[in-house]
Amino acid sequence: MAYYDSFTKKPRDKRQDLRDDADTRRPARDMKRGPVEKRRQEDGRRAERRPGGERQRTEKLQREPFRAAPAPLPEEVQHENWLVGRNPIREALKSGRDLEKLIVARGEIIGSGREILAMARERKVVIQEVDRARLDAMASGHQGMIAVASAYAYSTLEAILARAKEKGEDPFLVILDGITDPHNLGAIIRSAECAGAHGVILPERRAVGLTPAAVKASAGAIMHLPVAKVTNLPRTLDQLKKEGVWIFGSAAGGEDYRTVDLSGPCALVIGSEGEGMSRLVREKCDRVVSLPVRGKIDSLNASVAAGVLLYAISARRDAK
């Protein structure tokens, strides 16, 4: 059967009609779902019409096809005190080495990992669960576990009290409630050693420990002043009270330290940088003292306040 052109009235091949129709439709099809380059050009024209759209489009095109591993936490930057892998961690636990915390990959722990977790709980080591990507960012070959070892060995509360007794002096202790900055911790240890304190007490949780940064900030004072870590601060304060030690807390709104008798056996409590002492610790204090502030800033840095109060206590002890 012959086909005729509607305008020229001449015979026409049907296959040619189909090709012509396809050619006519191709531009519309390309605009709808054409090559990647055409889509990107159209995206660019739309993006340029939006404020900041060009920057958004560039970021979208440059986006990596995979999710990058998260960066290590600030306290994980120092790696000379890391124990990577199960065997080193197991041997450290067996030898009694002090560990700040054990970081494990979130999920089911099987095999030797369960034994290590049981040993860590028995030693009362803080266990922190994180995504495996966090461990991958910290070190390779971690086998789902990285331990952060203490940069210096801890003492005990009993040893600190015995140290004061050997010197024939009234106990003079510094208790830190929630100090999280290693530089503040190191500075307080340095001031405490210079002021003649017998030891420093830290809580196990929600506080920084003897990390390399804290030891460095102490400027060598950690070699001469014992530091103990306790599980429960309020219970430790009750124990000190039974030993005849007076507990002086430092907080805004307390008594002027210059009007308080700070002589005799005492322990000075320094609260965290932002929130100060916890409620339970403050309730256990015999007296709460503060430093008068005459400027517009309502508080001092924790390590600065500790230094002033430590030397005030030292002066009262010398005058006794």
pLDDT, tens only, 158-201: 999 999 999 999 999 999 998 999 899 999 999 999 999 999 99
Q: Is pLDDT larger for residue 298 or for residue 14? A: 298
**pLDDT computed for residue 75 by the predictor:** 45
Residue 111 Rama label (left phi>0; alpha psi -120 to 50; beta): left
Residue 228 host element (H or E): strand 227-230
Structural domains of the chain, ranges and CATH numbers in brackets: 3-61 (no CATH), 74-149 (3.30.1330.30), 157-319 (3.40.1280.10)
3-state secondary structure of 61: helix
Min mean pLDDT across 8-17, 149-158, 185-194, 229-238 is at 8-17
Per-residue CA distances from 258 to 74, 192, 292 (Å) = 38, 19, 9
Q: Is pLDDT larger for residue 29 or for residue 303? A: 303
**pLDDT computed for residue 162 by the predictor:** 94
**pLDDT computed for residue 4 by the predictor:** 53
Residue 309: band (very low, low, confident or very high) from pLDDT cuts 50, 70, 90: very high
The mean pLDDT of 279-307, rounded to a whole number, is: 90
**What are 22's two structure tokens?**
């396809």
Residue 85 Rama label (left phi>0; alpha psi -120 to 50; beta): left
Q: Is pLDDT larger for residue 23 or for residue 239? A: 239
Most confident of 12-21, 85-94, 151-160, 307-316: 307-316
Q: Is pLDDT larger for residue 71 or for residue 141? A: 141
Say how many Å lie between the first and final Cα of the chain, rounded: 126
Residue 4 host element (H or E): strand 3-4
**pLDDT computed for residue 77 by the predictor:** 45
**pLDDT computed for residue 259 by the predictor:** 92
Q: Please check the confidence at residue 12 and state whether its pLDDT lies above 70.
A: no
The span from the CA of 269 to the CA of 276, in Å, is 10
CB atoms within 10 A of CB 110: 8
The mean pLDDT of 49-73, rounded to a whole number, is: 49
Residue 2: band (very low, low, confident or very high) from pLDDT cuts 50, 70, 90: low
Per-residue CA distances from 270 to 94, 105, 141, 179 (Å) = 34, 34, 40, 8
Kindly report, residue by residue over 130-152, the tens digit of the pLDDT.
Answer: 888 888 888 877 888 888 888 78
Residue 19: band (very low, low, confident or very high) from pLDDT cuts 50, 70, 90: low
CB atoms within 10 A of CB 164: 19
- DSSP alpha helix (H) spans, 14-100: 14-33, 36-48, 53-61, 86-95
The mean pLDDT of 211-232, rounded to a whole number, is: 88
- Residue 221 burial class via C-beta count within 10 angstroms: exposed 0-12, middle 13-18, buried 19 and up: buried
**pLDDT computed for residue 199 by the predictor:** 95
Mean pLDDT score of the chain, rounded to an integer? Answer: 79
